[in-house]
Amino acid sequence: MFFWFALSAFAGPHADWAAEMAQFPPSPRQSLADPTVPRPPPTPGPDRLVYGYQAYWDANLDTVPWDALSHLAMFNANVESNGTLTDTDRWDEAAYAVALGAPYDVKIHLCVTNFSTSSLTSLLGDPDALSTLEDALVQAVNDTGAHGVNIDFEGLPSSRRQEMVDFVIRLASKVDEVAVATPAVDWSDAWDYAVLSQHADLFIMGYGYHWSGSSESGPTDPLYAGDGTVWSSPWSLSWTLDDYLAKGADPARVIVGLPLYGYAYQTSSTDVPTPNLGSNGAVFMGSANLDAAVWGAKYEETSASPYFDGVGEQVWYPTVDSVEERVIYAVDHGMGIGFWALHYDDDDPLLWERVQAHTTPAGTTDPTESTPSTSSTHSDPLTTVDARVDPAAEEGCGCSTSGHYGWVSWMVLLPLFARRRR
């Protein structure tokens, strides 16, 4: 069984994260941004869409790379099948986000989610429920001063393809901006990319090509796969972008979402590919790069993907270089870029310098010019520490026997939700 069968078995990447993180209490959300934290001076900003998700479990507004973004989505309130919203307290800081983003012309979107196919079938088939939802979203936008809405419906049934389009068109007539999270692979032909991109920006969730339930270990966001690679499946970021264009999506309204995370797989071999014997969970970009420095970073050339082998596991993760390569690919296709999720990179200034190098008017598409700068205009993260992984103290890549979410559950209790394993 190839990994794409496993990919089709889960509702979606954001649904997977939300379900996992719902087990743990969120990091305390600040009621007001700290005015003493230095922030970068306002800049002209990106010349294309640069979209970041701010997850409620890691919602530090002080370390958002405001000067690198065009949009920030506050994830997430949920919508029930009757159109009522729940968990709207996760939007409590939206007004502060609007204020912080204003000097950089960053637009704030309120993200609303539903990850149940049966619930979406009921919701999108009920005009009264949709009217209730639309009214609630308009009210929330007005109350917070947000600039628009992000619709994240994962598991959309093909039977509601037209109703989804009609809903987005109506909503776009009532709020200034609408973005829609869309799949890397449309398994059931549920999404009308061409029409939707006439009324909304499409955030491709360009990850989950391999995930915890995959049959083999592999990259979360392979740039290439299929013919000419070691991967038997054709599904990859390049395939996805071609698919969107072939189906009529407007490239100027397409956002190529990139993961700032990866996955650790239990393995008995260092081969690539190799069977996934069980999941050790998701790994954040920041901590994974620290582990790779200890265990030895490797690179799978045919998919343009970094990985490393620990003790009994194989870990696939992003680096600054691999993210930059994907940014260049998206820009070359006339598309925007996005990230799930902000802060998973440990707020690395170098990452955002590289992003800006390809997305701002003064930027360059020459990666050799994107070098570390000691005079970065980014603010320093409040949680900067000199973190190191001691291989004598930690097994494998630093995972507990219960998997990477073992350390996530521990860290999520910390005041600032530190994203580095100690």
223 residue type, one letter: L
Q: Residues 19, 58, 223, CA angle at the centre, nearest 5°?
A: 70
Judged on CB neighbours under 10 Å (0-12, 13-18, 19+), 47 is middle
pLDDT at residue 26, rounded to an integer: 59
* pLDDT of the residue at 361: 87
Label residues 84-107 b or e (16+ Cβ within 10 Å = b): ebeebebbebbebbbebbeebebb
Dihedral of CA atoms 87, 88, 89, 90 in degrees, nearest 10, equals 80
* pLDDT value, residue 25: 65
- All residues at 6 or more sequence positions from 229 whose CB lies less than 8 Å from its CB, including other chains: 222, 302, 303
- Work out the pLDDT band at 392, boundaries 50, 70, 90: very low
Model confidence at 403, pLDDT cuts 50, 70, 90, reads: very low
Mean predicted confidence (pLDDT) in 185-203: 98
- Tokens (6 digits) for 210: 């391999």
> Per residue in 73-129, pLDDT tens?
999 999 999 999 999 999 999 999 999 999 999 999 999 999 999 999 999 999 999
Average pLDDT over the chain, rounded to an integer: 85
* Matching CATH number, 3-411, of 3.40.50.720, 3.40.720.10, 3.40.50.300, 3.20.20.80: 3.20.20.80
**pLDDT, tens only, 266-315:** 999 999 999 999 999 999 999 999 999 999 999 999 999 999 999 999 99
* Domain coordinates in residue numbering, the chain: 3-411
